[in-house]
Amino acid sequence: MTNEELMREAIRLSVENVKNGGGPFGAVIARNGEIVATGVNRVTPLHDPTAHAEVSAIRAACNKLGTFDLSGCEIFTSCEPCPMCLGAIYWAHLDRIYYGNNQRDAAEIGFDDKFIYDELAVPVADRKKRMEALLSDEAIEAFRAWTLKEDKVEY
């Protein structure tokens, strides 16, 4: 499939998902022009704030391919990814992102992520969501164990 066909599939999924009670977002993960997995926004039907189209597609692709590393794959998403999805895309090592609608388009219909982008630039102590380090001297034990583990799978 061409990039345009893959994007049209993401768009089709987003339109269909609205009709099925989900948010107006769809995503396709492809490798060499072949669809590996798809996802749609199911936040409200699943009562899961992480069930965005991109995250759902990443989960499905990783499950199908039996890996957490989607290098060699690309994502086609009906809208520019939110901060959570963008982070997931980077962690999944997808090679490229294609998107239809942008952040401003999403904000115009009530999906405004600007407050998250803004918060990321604010020092931890000044963020709207209070954050406090707690039991850091105990929590570091897991990091020490990871550092010493000889058979770890790095990601």
Catalytic-role residue among 54, 74, 141, 150: 54
* Residue 46 main-chain phi, psi, to 5 deg: -95, -5
In 3D, which of 70, 36, 65, 40 has the Cα closest to residue 53?
Answer: 40
With beta carbons less than 8 A apart as the criterion, state whether 67 and 43 touch: no
CA-to-CA distance for 60 and 63, rounded, in angstroms? 5
Q: What is the distance of C-alpha 150 from the center of its chain?
A: 30
Of 136, 81, 83, nearest to 105 by C-alpha is 81
Distance, in Å, from the CA atom of 29 to the CA atom of 17, rounded to the nearest integer, reads 17
Does the annotation mark 132 as catalytic? no
CA atoms lying within 13 Å on the CB side of residue 141: 4
Any idea which residues carry the catalytic annotation?
54
